[in-house]
Amino acid sequence: MEPLGIFPASDPVSAPTALHSFCKAWAQRYIRQVDAADCTAAPPQNDRRAIATTLERNLRTVSAKAWAKTEHLLSQEMIRHQISPELVDPWTISQDIYQIYRQTLHHYADGTVPERFALTIATPVGDLRRQYTQVDPRVIGFASMQFHYTGQLLLQSLPFEQRPPLSLYFKAVDDHLYMPLQRAYEAAAQHDYHTLELRTIRRLLASSGGIASRIVHQVLQAFPNHHCYSGPLVSSQVQISSLRDVEMFQTYLWVCLLEGNISAVQQELFPLCAMLYPVLNVRWELVRYMLMLLDHELSRQLAAPEWKVIQQYLAPLRVMFSTEVFGDRVCLA
């Protein structure tokens, strides 16, 4: 499978082989998600254009409402975590997310298939993510939340049967905005196809969605009465967010493995969780339980050498979210 020009060039011999492998595994994973979704009622082309036109007409108003929700949740956290106000420009963030949604709606209206769109959007969203994580990685939390609430409001304005096909396009952007996928691509370019690290990632890519589903199911069983900011754990909306978070943790592990250090977790993932999870009422106990389940899942998925190399990064990650750091206190919004 050709990389469609979206991945950075590196060594002319080994890098393309490694990148083709990574790209193919990611594309196969995405297609499984598309196949699993119920797209039998996807609207015809003319209806897609009408839907996209209506949503784009409402996009500016929806964007303003989404920022109001984002600011309500994170304004105090910005002060508490001492984030420079100059880095969180509401107009810039709203405009950037607005433009991403415009592009997404245009691709949806034109009938671009979701898996092709996922590849097309990777570079612009990856560049946007790099821009927001360059000075203070926590700023990506504001952009990600703005995207999340904008998408929610847009989908809520549609009849229920029209939401699933469009939500696949939103999820493609969501994945690249929340997860350091472009960073993983670039790190993969530094590896030969046959390295243990890349072999481990290929194996995990194929099963990451299933791992996330099983973990979320077990967390739900262990905490059936817990309510997050957006609702109970059993609600479909919270389960979708939970699946994304488990996949996000896995992606950060991949980056650590490919880069050979844990800086991605230390500089991005941990500060983001420390800022976002309290206001979203995600208890640290849930995070620790999720990481324990991830440990068990990966031990079953990987051969001994692969398991040993991923443990170098998973073990420190579990320590960072341990009771010694956060205790057993409940994070309340």
Q: Contact 70/149 with Cβ under 8 angstroms?
A: yes
pLDDT, one tens digit per residue, over 298-313 is 999 999 999 999 999 9
pLDDT, one tens digit per residue, over 203-242 is 898 889 899 999 999 999 999 999 888 899 999 889 989 9
Picking from 254, 248, 265, the residue whose alpha carbon sits closest to that of residue 316 is 265
pLDDT, one tens digit per residue, over 261-294 is 999 999 999 999 999 999 999 999 999 999 999 9
Q: How confident is the model at residue 24 (pLDDT cuts 50, 70, 90)?
A: low
Q: How confident is the model at residue 323 (pLDDT cuts 50, 70, 90)?
A: confident
Q: Contact 98/60 with Cβ under 8 angstroms?
A: yes
Partner residues linked to 228 by β-bridges: 231
Domains and CATH numbers, the chain: 13-182 (1.10.490), 195-324+329-333 (1.10.490.20)
> How are the residues of the chain apportioned to helix, strand and coil, as percentages rounded to the nearest 5?
75, 0, 25
Q: Contact 78/88 with Cβ under 8 angstroms?
A: yes
How many CA atoms does the CB half-sphere of 111 hold within 13 Å?
5
Mean per-residue pLDDT of the chain = 86
Using CB atoms within 10 A of its CB, is residue 84 exposed (0-12), middle (13-18) or buried (19+)?
exposed
CA pair distance 104, 176, nearest whole angstrom: 13
CA pair distance 158, 147, nearest whole angstrom: 17
The angle, 0 to 180 degrees and rounded to 10, between the axes of the packed helices 122-133 and 181-188 is 100
**What are the DSSP calls for 57-70, one per residue?**
HHHHHHHHHHHHHH
